[in-house]
Amino acid sequence: MTWQNAINDYKHYLKIERGLSNNSIESYERDVQKLIFYLERHHDLISPIAIDKNTIQSFVYDASKQINARSQSRLISGLRSFFTYLVFEDYRTTNPLDHIESPKTGRKLPDTLSIKEIDSLIEAIDLSKSYNNIYIGERNRAILETLYSCGLRVSELINLKISDLFFEEGFIKVTGKGNKQRFVPIGNTTQKYIHIWKQERNKIDVPTEFKDTLFLNHRGHQLTRAMIFTIIKNLAKAINLNKVISPHTFRHSFATHLLENGADLRAIQLMLGHESITTTEIYMHIDRSHLKDVLLKHHPRN
């Protein structure tokens, strides 16, 4: 079996059997491609059937010189999944990752923005700039408002459809990881900015395949993840923000600010689309100051 055949079969399994999104499948594929690149540089290209634990250990050691512990852990996990699939399909009898431990990474607390910083980023958007008489600043404002007020992942944002907007009910339908759908509340302010953007969007000659996509570029095509990162990076630079931020920073800020204002952790879990509440619990470690206030206010002994 060649590496390409193994990867193609594995991707088919991830899509059909596990129902993963294209982004997740690409991430798993990148892990395997890194191993192949290493083999091409340092060894003969051993087949996925013949590769052994010692070769994998050499690869992991080499990778550890270039990436941090968290990335190493992610890489080992991705490769373990790939070889588990090969064992499951009887291509191999053992998994060469079975006794290779992931480095201890600890628990990384997500970066967040203050409300003032979020307001400053949004205020820095140039609403007067246009392409083909289309005011793209209105789109960018709607994007940031949606990221922050709904806590979306960047992939969920760029795939948001006009048909997913249920403004009369006060919700939007979001398609998350594994194509799982959830309804997230959306406030009046964010609805207002989306309505304004839709008026600009109506000026665009949109190709058939993007007729239902909410956020588009001035040529009528769906935005890429990279474009959202660029928009945010440029705004951070414009206000001299001394933080490295990304679209996910708005998602973290969404959850943190809700928790600090007394929101229920289970409700935050549902809005974020976390499968396990233990993932949501990381926000409990960001700022515990509000917990004292909750205790003093609600405990009968206080």
Distance CA 78, CA 83 (A): 9
Distance CA 170, CA 155 (A): 22
Catalytic residue among 80, 92, 141, 251: 251
Catalytic residue among 139, 141, 153, 257: 153
Question: Which residue in 132, 143, 127 sits closest to 219, CA to CA?
Answer: 132
Q: Is 43 a catalytic residue?
A: no
Q: Is 153 a catalytic residue?
A: yes
Question: Which residue in 53, 49, 59 sits closest to 3, CA to CA?
Answer: 49
One-character DSSP codes across 117-173: HHHHHHHTS-TT-EETTEEHHHHHHHHHHHHHHH---HHHHHT-BGGGEETTTTEEE
Q: Is 30 a catalytic residue?
A: no
Cβ contact 218:134 at 8 Å? yes
Question: Which residue in 111, 110, 113 sits closest to 282, CA to CA?
Answer: 110
Q: Is 107 a catalytic residue?
A: no
The residue whose two tokens read 């400053």 is 120
Q: Is 248 a catalytic residue?
A: yes
Catalytic residue among 177, 221, 225, 233: 177
Q: Is 274 a catalytic residue?
A: yes
Q: β-strand 130-131 against 181-185: which pairing, if any?
A: unpaired
Active site residue ranges: 153, 177, 248, 251, 274, 283
